[in-house]
Structure 1
Amino acid sequence: AGEGWGLATDGETLYLSDGSEHIWEVDPATFRRGRKITVTAAGRPVQFLNELEWIEGKIWANVYTTDQIVIIDPATGTVEGVVDLAGLLPEEEITPATDVLNGIAYDAATRRIFVTGKNWSRLFEIEIVKK
């Protein structure tokens, strides 16, 4: 029931976003929703969670209509980091048909992270640098 915006797995459980500040744990055998994770940053809900990816024990979620990805502790729902991808897609490639950032993929074997967006002409490999 309801909308599914993003889906990720840790290998045992599915994690589902619905465009709100909630991520649901879902049983992959029955597709029944279990625990609801409320995602917060500095104590405030983070709404519009969209695409999800499981990366090294954390849930990465893009925030719909922004150039940000939040890194979430799945046990608490707390945002532990923000990846700001503003300016990633060059201005000359942005057209009326270009849509939002919403693709996150992780290659665990090589520890490589890839991002893209709807109607983007490119796939980007990104490297996270902590400030």
Structure 2
Amino acid sequence: DEMYDYQHTWTPVSDSGCPVLNAGSDFARDLLSDDNFKEVLNGRYHDLYNLALELQVSLENATVQENETNIVDPSLTGIAKWVEEIIQRLKIIENEIRDLKHDIQGLRYYEHRLITELHHKVNYLTNYNV
């Protein structure tokens, strides 16, 4: 039941200075049915799993490095190489996170555009029917 504690939030949307949608939030239980919510969670799980696979070092290269990294040379040079390898992996992860943030911003912009377009169409239908 805790999976329904996921909360979707949004920022206000306005059209020509008129508020279309106020800032707010909804819990997943209010937005999706059980099956739809499980499908979304399953999709997110697979997305994260695929991202984790992309961030891993390929197995062909890892076998040689694995033996070297399991045995860290206790000298300053050995520790420095180990730290440098970790920093390189962190930089790769940082770039992937930056790309994800950029994608999320694009999706939020697209969501706002859809809401504004829907608002225009509802206004048109309302005014046309009156």
TM-score (normalizing by structure 1): 0.24
Bigger RCO (CA 8 Å, 6+ sep):
2
Considering fraction of residues, name the structure with more strand.
1
Tell me the TM-score normalized by structure 2.
0.24
Bigger Rg, which one: 2
Q: Greater share of helix residues, 1 or 2?
A: 2
